[in-house]
Amino acid sequence: MNKHWGFFSADNHYKSSSEIIHKLTGIAASRGNMLLNVGPAPDGTIGQPERERLKALGEWLTVNGESVRNVEPCPINGGTYGCSAMKGNSVYLYIHWWHGSSITIADCNIDFDEGTILGIDRNVTIRRSGKHIILENLPDTAPDSLCSVIKLHRDTAIV
């Protein structure tokens, strides 16, 4: 979580919880597995910075875990918002950079039947504009400060 693979008392350069989750979503989107190292102190304790980040990651996974488990690469380009992965008839958009009340998915040839934001009871309006998909009815600010996830679903298989 910092610059070393083990305990090093002088290393206070910890990745933020958001950075760890952004790395996790990028790795999941590429069908990878993430090894997150926690180096215990010589007495076996885990430091406060590591505990804080593990707690934030666990809370994020409680809400968004389905979006990173058993997913595969997606043909949708993350463009300016982050990255994406898919599973079955669903696509998960990992929104690393929230743009406000709408997001454009550029050059998308997939049409979706419904969209939701994981963790909140809010449907997303999906509109096609030429080659682009426009997601509307989004909150002005990110529902999750670490990484919000939008789940787009269609009734037929994504090819």
pLDDT band at 115 (very low <50, low <70, confident <90, very high): very high
* Distance, CA of 158 to CA of 156 (rounded, Å): 7
| Predicted confidence (pLDDT) per residue in 38-65, tens digit | 889 999 999 999 999 999 999 999 999 9
pTM: 0.92
Tell me what pLDDT residue 78 has: 79
Coil, helix or strand for 26? helix
Q: Which CATH class is domain 72-153?
A: mainly beta
Per DSSP, helices labelled H in the chain are 17-29, 48-64
pLDDT band at 2 (very low <50, low <70, confident <90, very high): confident
Question: Whole-angstrom distance between the N-terminal and C-terminal Cα of the chain?
Answer: 37
Q: Which residues of 44-78 are buried (b: 16+ CB within 10 A; e: fewer)?
A: eeebeebeebbebbeebeeebeebbeebeebebeb
Enumerate the domain spans of the chain: 17-67, 72-153
Percent of the chain with pLDDT over 70: 100
